[in-house]
Amino acid sequence: MPEVRPVVVVTGGSRGIGAHLARGFAEAGYAVELTSRDGEGARRVADELSREGLDALGSALDVTEPDLVQVFADQVLQRHAQVDVLVNNAGVIEPPAPLWEADVDAWWGVQRANVLGPFLLCRALVPRMVAAGGGRVINLNSGSGTRADAEQSAYHASKSALARITGGLHLAGVEHGVRAFDLAPGVVRTDMTAAMPQHVGRTEWTEPGEVVALALALASGELDAWSGRMVRAGVDTAGSLRAAADAGLPDEARTIGLLPYGDDDPVA
């Protein structure tokens, strides 16, 4: 009988962190379905992996288009009985500018790619996970989602919103065996980080292998105690996260919430 491999979908898998993740999952024995907007980059990466004897297929996908996402999901599920892991990696960032100088289309385009895209992929694929008794969603988030920024309000807002998608998916999915995680990759040297003013002159970078290792640990189920929370490559390891979970995680640990001004804050 042919080998049955676990299946992972990696959006934005043609370059940067996404390409590293696609390779890492393929080398770990997954059947990898990776996407890029034009399809050419995804197919190039998939072809490279296939020539090495790994299982990968690249497809074109605009993650902001509901009909296209559904068609892609249907095609993936025709090729495979199940999707075990969804990695929402595709994302964009706007040119730096104060909010009042931001281009409206560029600002909203960030929300479409970084928020609508993961929502649509989850909406299309999580029902099959539920039907199969479980699965895991890894959303590529960022420390930017935990704070405001003077010049990239769109990106920071999108990552805060993405954390709410992760949290909501965890709460709704946990009884069905579905787990969801925010994976902050740290600062990996990519085209996107090079365009961010806060990283100009940076000399310390997160190694891509650290991101891949943490993503594989999340996908394996060994870190399910962190579902609904954020982990950070380059700082966290599978071992450190297991130890923290074994010691007991406060309910709001590594989540985004409102900080009270004191014990008598009526909003807390």
Integer CA distances (angstroms), 15 to 7, 20, 34, 44, 81, in order: 20, 8, 11, 10, 27
**How far does Cα 230 stand from its chain's mean position?**
11
CA dist., res. 27 & res. 218, Å (int) = 16
Question: Which 8-state DSSP code applies to residue 88?
Answer: E
Based on the residue annotation, tell me whether 261 is a catalytic residue of this protein.
Answer: no
Phi/psi of residue 137, nearest 5 degrees:
-115, 130
Integer CA distances (angstroms), 135 to 81, 181, 250, in order: 13, 11, 24
CA dist., res. 133 & res. 83, Å (int) = 11
Q: Name 146's bridge partners.
A: none
- Distance from the first to the final alpha carbon of the chain: 57
CA dist., res. 224 & res. 221, Å (int) = 5
CA dist., res. 104 & res. 208, Å (int) = 33
- Which member of 155, 184, 226, 233 is catalytic? 155
Catalytic (active-site) positions: 155
